[in-house]
Amino acid sequence: MSEIKVMIVDDSAVVRKYLSDLLTKAGVTVIGAAADPLFAMQRMKSNWPDVLVLDVEMPRMDGITFLKQVMAERPTPVVMCSTLTEKGGQTTMQAMAAGAVGFVTKPKMGLKDFLEDDSNGIVAAVRAAAKANMSALRRAQPGIPKPGAARAMAVAPGPQEAMAETTDRVIAVAISTGGVQTIEAVLTRLPRTVPGMVIVQHMPPNFTASLAARLNGLCDLEVLEAKDGDRVINGRVLFAPGGRHMRLKRSGAQYVVEVFDGPLVNHHRPNADVLLKSVAQCAGRNAIGVVMTGMGDDGSRGLREMFNAGAKTAAQDEASCVVFGMPREAIKHGGVQQVVSLDDLPSWLMAAARSAVNAA
């Protein structure tokens, strides 16, 4: 068999090393290994690979977006290698529809042993991909662009839209009057394994920093007043700073927050609808949304958008609310799947996160 040149794109240094060793041992030439698609493209411009081995969840740009851009610029056989590329999974279907010719599922546990196992299917998938007729693939799948559709490949983050599935979950909370004691009752009962949380608590400047510092000392979680660019990760809680808006963005497959100035929205800054609508757009069904005690209707429209995007949603029940206004309006807008008491909310959040993972 003639030489096969492979580029590995994976944000894990361990995966890059063991994949490189595995392929090299099998006689495949690894011409490069990059931590994300932007680094990969810099290398590929000078030495284009015969096959790409591509992860899905990476910083700056996710693997599906990069796959689509590669197919628009210079169609190349791609083998997806991710924990998300399971047989029949949504991400796998997305990848195959976009032009990937093969996939290998990385295990969630025992990854090192899997990568060292010659029978894991990766070498076979790469060799099969190298023989792929990309012209025939384009004819069979009309959605794949023709060569040269993108004259100069612009490797930059695309529109902020949700991935079909991701291993990361996001919990978004809207809360106002009576919220200080209420949110404490929830956060102090959550484990560090809880998905990353983003919270709008209606407060003026300076108050949210003190609230976050106090809660950080009481909880097992890391509780912070958000700064622009902070990552949303398991066990971390980010409060929108008083007097500033916050929204969720994607950096590749990672979630980060944008903190910004702007006019009052529905009399509030921070505004919960601003946050929840961005979560609906960026995280979709990978998110969980809750509207809690508070006056007015902030959060009701954003929660409805989260519901429409497939997120799991809840509202705090009237009996446990200091003010039932915000939850009542969220229920009226049709975005609430379940009404939950304050006592039951921590366990509901963890169950929602587990069911979201299982559904993916």
> Between these two residues, 3 and 309, which has the higher pLDDT value?
309
Same domain, 256 and 107: no
- Confirm whether pTM is higher than 0.85: no
Shared domain for 54 and 115, answered yes or no, is yes
Evaluate whether residue 157 is within a structural domain. Answer: no
Task: Indicate the DSSP class of residue 198.
Answer: E
- Number of structural domains (the chain) is 2
Q: Is residue 320 part of a domain?
A: yes
CATH of the domain at 291: 3.40.50.180
Domain enclosing residue 329, as ranges: 170-359
Is 175 found in the same domain as 135? no
| Tokens, residue 66 | 């990069």
Same structural domain for residues 215 and 135? Answer: no
Instruction: Tell me whether residue 165 is in a domain.
Output: no
Q: Are residue 133 and residue 235 in the same domain, yes or no?
A: no
Residue 126's pLDDT band (cuts 50, 70, 90): very high
Q: 37 and 7 in contact (C-beta within 8 Å)?
A: no
Whole-number pLDDT of residue 86: 61
Nearest to 271 by CA among 182, 202, 197, 171: 202
Strand, helix or coil at 157?
A: coil
pLDDT, average across residues 165-188: 88
Same domain, 128 and 245: no
Residues 230 and 352 in one domain: yes
Q: Does position 85 have pLDDT exceeding 90, yes or no? A: no
Q: Check whether residue 120 and residue 38 sit in a common domain.
A: yes
Cα angle for residues 3, 50, 138 (degrees, 5° grid): 135
* Sequence letter at residue 14: V
> Do 97 and 186 reside in the same domain of the chain?
no
287-291 β-sheet, strand order: 222-225, 236-239, 196-201, 170-175, 287-291, 312-316, 338-340
162 found inside a domain:
no
In a domain, 91, yes or no: yes
Active-site positions read 176, 202, 298
More confident position, 181 or 290? 290
Is there a single domain that holds both residue 244 and residue 102?
Answer: no
Is 61 contained in some domain?
yes
Q: What does the pLDDT look like over 239-296, one tens digit per residue?
A: 999 999 999 998 877 899 999 999 999 889 999 999 999 999 999 999 999 999 999 9
Tell me, what CATH number does 93's domain have?
3.40.50.2300
Same domain for 99 and 50, yes or no, is yes
Q: Is 152 a domain residue?
A: no
Confidence of residue 154 (pLDDT cuts 50, 70, 90): very low
What is the mean predicted confidence (pLDDT) over 320-335? 94
Q: Are residues 199 and 88 in the same domain?
A: no
C-beta atoms surrounding 140 within 10 Å: 9
Asked if the structure places residue 156 within a domain, the reply is no
